[in-house]
A and B are shown apart, each in its own frame.
Chain A
């Protein structure tokens, strides 16, 4: 019993690391650009397809293809910010919500047309490997994914706290108008935030590939998790999103283990609705706000 519980927690934490990459991207964009990117999950999907094609066409290991998927999606992010998002920034919610939502629909359905709904998998030498600790087992592919995810989150944190550009981004997320008055170039900051968020989504995609199937709708699961984690961890708060994602991973895994195989989503939505009912500002909110 205890062993099952610990095993479920381990599984949850490992997948929670991937959720964290997606949520941190969503919360970064929300914090800096003040929009919600409904298409974030579709960029995870694109990251997965990039790794899938590099693996099947050139035999490149999905973990190595991280160095392709991240920069490619960074550039895509900068371009999307420059040509699409920049045009709808303003006080009106409607264009922002529905632009990224339309982007999500577009990418998803383009993928459906180009790649069909088939599940694509990549089998690596470590896909079936696992470390054993007594009765517990830790799949190697998931462990690597978790480790890289945490490292990337740490790098982002360092970037936000130690570089000028990172500080500018944090300043812009705290008070955009004052940041602009201090001479911060909004377009540059927004472009980097969007690019970085998409690079994280791309990384999530590549890290998933050794143990997860790529299909057009794959991003939907991750983006739903990310939205809940971002609300739970307080909007715009990177550490909050990270912690909440790990919690969600564990909650989902416990739900699957103890309630039933298809109850993971119910647990997640229940967490969202409970958060909304009792603490709509999220767990990371400062008192008095």
Chain B
């Protein structure tokens, strides 16, 4: 009989084998594209979840960091020929630096007004990139020169390589979340999320913890921005700072299970699969159908299962296996 700890490693190993083999087994590039989208939004969701899920700082402005990451690496690549691998890290650092003043402003507000302030900051950044042509191509944006197969410039000829890059990022994101979840910081975050005043009363330095987690969350989100731009070979303010990135980051976490390690991944699998199915059934002719379905799912989750799909799964598991020895 395997202990639950060993079982966990077995499952993880099995999952790793399946995930690594998947793009080799699937030949349809449409399907690989969907897998890449799932991994990408899982990763963005994981980054959002660190701050929005554990500390309940519900940002709807994460597109700010997605866009900053995308623009930093693209400017470095197109204007100076620097590899996006370096640009990616630089973008993360730029995002971290930007999160300091943005956090300083937005953390003055709590609850819904924090959310509104984050929306406003992301919009301001988009407007800045829209207005200043000399700075970064203005509203038209730019295409990224296609070098063919250039792994050192984060350009690949097959989609499978992009798949492995974003899979790697997601693993990093989950690993960071796992480490934080088990650390003193994780407990502080949950305490802040439960009741910020109470957390401060027992000695949690809430402003500092919130600032730190915002730095980490912004850094990770920026990495996703660089990856996405490299993947679609194009950047403009409307895609880089798209409000829908902010929305989806929050949505996948809430639907999957807010403040849990695997929640964002599970949420993304459900939402992106639904979206792909809808697209293949209806074509892209009917505008708005995707977000209509997303919002219905979101309303259903909020009203009936605020713990998300993870919560549903846990309840089912406990009901099904309740005769067995208690599992923690």
Contact = CB atoms under 8 A, between A and B. Distances in A.
A and B form one complex? yes
A276 B117 contact: yes
Interface stretch (A95-103, A129-137, A166-174): A95-103
Interface in B294-328: 294-296, 298-299, 302-303, 306
Contacts of B106: 276
Contacts of A91: 195
A272 interface: yes
B179 interface: no
A96 B292 contact: no
Interface residues of B, number: 40
Interface stretch (A2-10, A110-118, A149-157, A206-214): A110-118
Contacts of A228: 120
A3 B81 CA distance: 52
A269 B250 CA distance: 23
B306 A95 contact: yes
A144 interface: no
Interface string A227-239: 1100100010000
A93 B116 contact: no
B112 interface: yes
B127 A93 contact: no
A227 B289 CA distance: 27
Nearest to B254: A98
Contact of B127 (A87, A94, A265, A280): A265
Interface in B279-297: 286-292, 294-296
A235 B113 contact: yes
A269 B56 CA distance: 24
Given A93-B58, A98-B254, A108 B288 contact: yes
Q: Categorize the interface residue count of chain A.
A: 35 or more
B251 to A, nearest CB: 8
A280 B107 CA distance: 10
A113 B288 CA distance: 6
A36 B113 contact: yes
Give the one of B116, B119, B286, B287 with max A CB within 10 A: B116
Contact of A103 (B120, B124, B290, B299): B299
Nearest to A227: B116
Interface of A: 35-36, 38, 84, 87-88, 91-99, 101-103, 105-106, 108-113, 116-117, 216, 224, 227-228, 231, 235, 262-263, 265-266, 269-270, 272-273, 276-277, 280
Interface of B: 56, 58, 60, 105-106, 108-109, 111-113, 115-117, 119-121, 123-124, 127, 131, 195, 247, 250, 254, 258, 286-292, 294-296, 298-299, 302-303, 306
15 contacts: A84-B303, A93-B56, A93-B58, A99-B299, A102-B302, A106-B296, A106-B299, A113-B288, A116-B287, A224-B123, A228-B120, A262-B131, A273-B120, A276-B108, A280-B109
